[in-house]
Amino acid sequence: MAVALILVGATAIYLSQGFRGDAGFFPTAMGCLLIVASLVLIAQTVLRKSAPAEPDDAFEGKRFLTWIGLALLLFMIVWQVDFYLGVFGFIVASYLILAKKGVVFSVTLAAIFTIILFVGFDLLLNVPTPSRLQAFFNTF
């Protein structure tokens, strides 16, 4: 899996080289971070001294199907309501349902990540994000 993520990161870096101006900075930075994180994962796996623990659930397909459902819900919320609301809800639901983390942890992490996205996209890069909610409030 980590090798596939390295390929995704390398593809993002390669494709962003043809972007004009500094439009390629974000995909290049994310591709580099993805490659570094994947290399760390590979190193941890190679250096692990004990055998990996068996998953609690023999059929991991349920988790995958749940994640696919959450991703589809994310896209519907982003398309119909708001990008940031969709991302926030996706992160909270992912940590609650899939990672079985507590509500406070899930909401806090989702809020931090959503704020970072807002500052990065809206304030620093001035990249418009899809928002029917914002269009609704702008009518008043």
Q: State the Cα–Cα distance between residues 103 and 7, nearest whole angstrom.
A: 34
pLDDT digits (tens, 9 = 90+) for 80-90: 878 888 889 88
Q: State the Cα–Cα distance between residues 114 and 120, nearest whole angstrom.
A: 10
Query: pTM score, two decimals?
Result: 0.55
Q: State the Cα–Cα distance between residues 139 and 28, nearest whole angstrom.
A: 37
Q: Which residues pair with 131 in a beta bridge?
A: 82
pLDDT digits (tens, 9 = 90+) for 92-117: 888 888 778 888 988 998 899 889 88
